[in-house]
């Protein structure tokens, strides 16, 4: 009933697909398989990324945040915008900013036109850190990130239709 889309057989994958009807399950197997896969891949990549970033003294949230700031005009953004963009609670962003500020990678300063708003700005040291981290990820030499080199662009492109379908267009 369910035909695998890929040529190379994976015994476990084929197993789950083949067992679906035989084990009396109903509905399509694809929601389960896709949601389980993305959950596993997310966890694997999260762990690998944290390990890779350790030598730069930043964690995953810090890396996303610093790179986002480095890409922003003027190298700064509101805390609320960073929280939204990273889909992370403002408390987590605040904690991460505290850590990055202690390392001299960002500074906080009041918004020029709205003194109640705090801007987070990347420092020169922060920019250096972003460069080293992104170069390290581009040329990763440690398992398993060293296997992903050519796959990142493909992965990004593959996720786009799904992200667009659920209304996520950021990045």
Footprint (CB under 8 A) of a second copy, residues 119-148? 127, 130-131, 134-140, 144, 147-148
Whichever of 87 and 102 has its CB closer to a second copy, that residue is 87
Is 87 one of the binding residues for a second copy (CB under 8 A)? Answer: yes
Please report, as residue ranges, which positions from 23 to 52 form the binding site for a second copy (by CB under 8 A).
23-46, 48-49
CA distance 30 to 140: 32
Give the nearest distance from C-beta 168 to a second copy in angstroms: 6
Does 168 engage in binding with a second copy (CB under 8 A)?
Answer: yes
Q: What are the CB-based long-range contacts (under 8 Å, 24+) for 106-114?
A: 106/65, 106/66, 106/69, 109/76, 111/78
User: Which residue in the set 50, 70, 79, 108 belongs to the binding site for a second copy (CB under 8 A)?
Assistant: 70
Based on the shown chain and the rule CB under 8 A, indicate whether residue 102 belongs to the binding site for a second copy: no
Minimum CB distance to a second copy smaller for 112 or for 138: 138
The whole-angstrom separation of Cα 12 and Cα 55 is 36
């Amino acid at each position: 009933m369910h035909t695998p889309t890929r040529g190379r057989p994976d015994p476990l994958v084929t197993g789950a697909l083949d067992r679906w009807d035989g084990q009396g399950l109903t509905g399509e197997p694809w929601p389960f398989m896709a949601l389980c896969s993305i959950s596993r891949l997310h966890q694997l990549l999260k762990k690998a990324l944290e390990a890779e970033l350790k030598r730069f003294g930043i964690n995953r949230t810090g890396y996303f945040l610093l790179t986002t700031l480095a890409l922003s005009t003027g190298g700064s953004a509101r805390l609320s915008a960073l929280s939204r963009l990273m889909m992370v609670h403002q408390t987590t962003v605040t904690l991460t900013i505290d850590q990055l500020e202690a390392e001299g990678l960002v500074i906080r300063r009041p918004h020029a036109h709205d003194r109640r708003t705090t801007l987070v700005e990347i420092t020169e040291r922060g920019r250096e850190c972003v460069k080293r981290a992104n170069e390290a990820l581009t040329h990763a030499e440690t398992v398993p990130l060293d296997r992903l080199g050519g796959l990142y662009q493909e992965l990004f492109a593959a996720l786009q239709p799904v992200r667009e379908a659920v209304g996520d267009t950021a990045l």
